[in-house]
Amino acid sequence: MEKGNRLVELCRYLQDPHLVARFQRFCGVRGTFSRTGTTATGTGKESDRSRSHNNGACRRHIAGENDSGASAVTGAGEGEKTQTGSPTRVRRRDDDDADADANVATNRGEESEPPPRNGALVPGGETASATAKPLRRNSLTGDAGREFLIGNRFLYYMFTFGTELGNELFYITFFPFVTWNVDAFVSRRLIMVWVWVMYLGQCTKDVVGWSRPASPPVVKVEMFYNSEYSMPSTHAMSGTALPLSLLFLTYGRWEYPFTLGFSLALCWCLLVCVSRIYMGMHSVLDVIVGVLYSALILLFFLPALDLIDGFNVTCRCAPLVIVTLHLLLGFFSFNLDTWSTSRGDTAQILGTGAGVALASHVNRRLGLLPDAAPDQLPFATPALGAGLVGSALLRLVLGVLVLMATRALMKAVTLPLVCRVFGVPGGDARKARQHMEVELPYRYIVYGAVGFNVLFLVPLLFSCARLS
């Protein structure tokens, strides 16, 4: 019993937003919260409303609960207007604790500093090196966030790079690069791992429903994902799964020292995980659980890769199973919670996975991108040269252009078509995508086509143009 209480206390400590705020201050990030409780973008009333939403936390109230307005708030970010509707979830104790933490921080003046001008002296006597705002607006509310002070630019740029290792821009360049320039066999299996890890992580977020760290005291260096749930950190999950799986799939297939591969994988994982705390997007507990959860998934999934990949490539009924399975998984995840931007991300992930799996089956039938024979292994690591780097960059640029054209074309065609099929008004694309019957097939088809072209169309074009 005593050990259980200690574990609960430890979890509460690791979830405390003040722990995140202390780490941010240690790294030179300071907020510009006003002492009067007003924000840089609104009145004191708006600040209180923003704080009551826990700075973008998704929460709901019990029907008939005597909260002000008795409203159900879904995915409200800073400054977002509340939306009334049928409540679906009990207000969590963790949300109340987060609100209390925010109020305590405001009352005692923690991280509550007037925004000095660039280069002006702050109360501690330090010189503020720069002021900045989050690079991207909130994906749900459009909120740009508050300004903050950067005391260490090196750490700011390093952790910005680290957090980008878990964003869409990285995935749409990294996976194609590995496919077209390194090893298509490794790439398609790596994508399979990524799909399952990210899918389970997103579903778990919707089931647990924990909010992001409260601001104040936390400084929101990033705002894009602020209206999504927090536990576990899917950035930490992908930042653990991708490098470890890459090491698992390439060691013995390619010639390189294990210590080098493990060191790079460890640095990748640490950079992504720590960046999420630095950005104010996750508590320490979110990140730790994300790493452990990802490791647990890999423990069961990596030994089954040969069986799953073999089925996708060789079985005649594989295309039907692939399409049906990924659609059913999307339908299940879409019914876990109300609409949010994370639902679209889940559909994109499933569509990409289905497209890549279908392409691997078609490639086997047509003899495109054949797997290496056992006597050809292990591959020797080629020496870097101008010609090798130039050809790799050329393939990457041309291939990404094809993918961008594919995505633009499929978006232009699919959304109006799906809206017409299901009788949903398509004038406002954002509102139309809030309908599950539109969002799921739209994202699934668009990114299924992108994933298919990564492994089939682009390599076929390279083969015809003798760029393979």
Helices 168-181, 184-208: crossing angle, 10 deg rounding: 160
234-289 pLDDT tens trace: 999 999 999 999 999 999 888 889 999 999 999 999 999 999 998 888 889 999 99
pLDDT of 125 above 50: no
pLDDT of 360 above 80: yes
- The pLDDT of residue 116: 44
20-33 pLDDT tens trace: 888 988 888 887 77
Query: What's the whole-number average pLDDT of the chain?
Result: 76
Q: Is 282 designated active site?
A: yes
pLDDT of 126 above 70: no
Q: How many CB atoms are closer than 10 A to CB 90? A: 13
* Rounded Cα gap, residues 187 and 356, in angstroms: 10
Q: For the chain, give percent helix, strand, coil, nearest 5.
A: 60, 5, 35
Element (DSSP H or E) covering residue 30: strand 29-31
- The pLDDT of residue 37: 44
pLDDT of 189 above 90: yes
Q: Which residue has the higher pLDDT, 217 or 110?
A: 217
Write down the catalytic residue from 18, 235, 326, 361.
Answer: 235
pLDDT band at 195 (very low <50, low <70, confident <90, very high): very high
Answer whether 333's CB lies under 8 Å from 199's CB: yes
- In sequence order, what E strands does 105-202 have? 130-132, 148-150
Average pLDDT of span 122-132: 54
- The pLDDT of residue 209: 80
- The pLDDT of residue 337: 61
pLDDT of 72 above 80: no
Question: Distances from the Cα of 371 to the Cαs of 21, 251, 338, 366, in angstroms?
Answer: 49, 16, 43, 13
- Residue 436, both tokens: 């599950």
Write down the catalytic residue from 61, 282, 326, 361.
Answer: 282
pLDDT band at 55 (very low <50, low <70, confident <90, very high): very low
| CA 70 from centre of chain | 32
- The pLDDT of residue 244: 94
Task: Give residue limits of the domains in the chain.
Answer: 2-151, 163-464
Q: Which of 53, 439, 31, 346 is nearest to 220 (CA)?
A: 31
Q: Under 8 Å CB-to-CB from 403, ≥6 apart: which residues? A: 172, 176, 450, 453, 454, 458
Q: Which residue has the higher pLDDT, 110 or 411?
A: 411
pLDDT of 378 above 70: yes
Amino acid, single-letter form, for residue 150: I
Q: Is 61 designated active site?
A: no
pLDDT band at 291 (very low <50, low <70, confident <90, very high): very high
Q: How many CB atoms are closer than 10 A to CB 412? A: 11
Instruction: Tell me the whole-structure pTM to 2 decimals.
Output: 0.76
* Rounded Cα gap, residues 173 and 392, in angstroms: 12
